[in-house]
Amino acid sequence: MTRTLLPLVYGSAAFVFIYLPVAALVLFSFQDGTLPVPPFEGPSLRWYADVLADDDLTAALLNSLGVALLSASVAVTLGFTAAYGLARHRLPGTALLRALLIAPLTVSYLIVGLGLLIVLQRIGIGLSLWTAGIGHVVINLPLCFAIIYASMGAQNVNAERAARDLGAREAQVVLLVTVPMLAPAILAAFFLSITLSWDEFIIAFLLTRFDVTLPVEIWSMLRSGLSPRLNAIGSLVFLVSVTAVILLELVVFRRRS
């Protein structure tokens, strides 16, 4: 009895906890009043219309998408080449190099952002989406490296050796054998990087200038006052992200397993 009842009760409670803020967020995004607090005054789409007509938000959304895609691509590429170099070639001090590449993972985003801000200001490089993107690569590179490095098992070595024995040059081996075999890890690293960059606030806040990413724009809205607009934009971001996640799950990962 307790064997099934307890897990059921615990699981349900956990899911209530996990979905509570999302439910409140989405419910009050349909608020037909100017305040997103109880009582709920009945469904209305006015805040969605309001948010969709806001050019700054749309621009911020596109900026976020661009920064996320570009920084994730760079992070995955660098992470992959480093993992390949360290796993397939004999380098002195491999443990130290691994530690160096992983190090940013153990540092708070605030510190990464603050350090970069100080250096960029000193050498006179203006802040922009590019500088925020550099910061995002710094935080995502260790994750990409770790994930891909961990998946570089021995079975791949044999396939690579076979290809080399058949006369393939190293570039061909990497592109035609290693990358396809490691595709699940590479994709996982890529999508994780996109997710983290898409939602990152403090680095983007410190390192952007006129064009900002979505979390920074939302932060500005949040400072300007209580409004169901925040609920609407939050719900929209959730809807878009979740759709992407489910599509990925169905199209990319389900097919492989």
Partner 1 sequence: MTSKTAFCLLGSTALATLGSAAAAQDELNALVWCDHTDPALIEPFEEAHDVTVNLREYEGTGAALATLEQSRPGDWDVLVIDGIDVFRAIDAGILAPLPADELPTDDFFPEVVMEDNNSRDGEIYAVTEKFGYNTISYNSEAVDEADMQSLSTVWSEKYDGRISIYDYYLPVMGIAALAEGIDTAAIDADALGPIGDTLSAMRGRAASVAGVVAAQTALATGEVDIVVGGGEWLTAVLAEEQPALTWTIPEEGAVRWTQSIGVLADSEKPDLALEFVKYIVSPEGQARLATSSCFWGMPANAGAGEFLDDDQKARLRWDDQEDYLAATQLYPAPDTDLDIEMQDLWLNTLQQ
Partner 2 sequence: MTARADTIRGWGFAAPALVWTAAFFVVPFVVMAAMSLATLDGRTLIWGLHPDNYLELASKAYLARAIVVSLEITLTVTVVSVMLAYPLAWIIAFRIPPRWQRLALLLAILPFWTSYVVRSYAWLLVLARDGVVNQALLGIGLIDEPLTLANTRFATVTGFVHFFVMLLTLTIYANLVQLSPNYRKAAADLGANAFQTFRHVVLPLTLPGIMTGAFLTFVLCIGDYITPQILGGNTELTVPQVIMVQLGRRADFPLASALAVVLMGLVTLAYLVMSRWLRLDRL
Q: Which of residues 167-226 bind partner 1 (CB under 8 A)?
A: 209-211, 220, 222-226
**Residue 17 or residue 210: which is nearer to partner 1 going by CB?**
210
Q: Is 245 in the site for partner 1 (CB under 8 A)?
A: no
Minimum CB separation from partner 2 for residue 85, in Å? Answer: 3
Q: Which residues contact 148 (CB under 8 A, 6 or more apart)?
A: 76, 79, 80, 83, 182, 185, 186, 189
Q: Considering only residues 57-86, where is the footprint of partner 1 by CB under 8 A?
A: 62-63, 65-66, 69-70, 73
- 42 is an interface residue for partner 1 by CB under 8 A: no
Q: Decide: is 34 part of the binding site for partner 1 (CB under 8 A).
A: yes
Residues 6+ apart with CB under 8 A from 185: 147, 148, 150, 151
| C-alpha span between 80 and 193 (Å, rounded) | 13
Q: Residue from 4, 42, 55, 89 that binds partner 1 (CB under 8 A)?
A: 55
Asked if residue 241 binds partner 1 (CB under 8 A), the reply is no
Instruction: With beta carbons less than 8 A apart as the criterion, state whether 26 and 40 touch.
Output: no
Of 159 and 244, CB closest to partner 1: 244
How many residues lie near partner 2 (CB under 8 A)? 85
Buried b (16+ CB within 10 A) or exposed e, 181-194: bbeebbebbbbbbb
Sketch the per residue contact string, 109 through 148, with partner 2: x for CB under 8 A, - otherwise.
Answer: xxxx-xxx-xx--x-----------xx-xx--x-x-xxx-
* Of residues 64-93, those binding partner 2 (CB under 8 A): 77-79, 81-82, 84-86, 88-92
Q: State the minimum distance, in angstroms, from the CB of residue 106 to partner 2.
A: 6
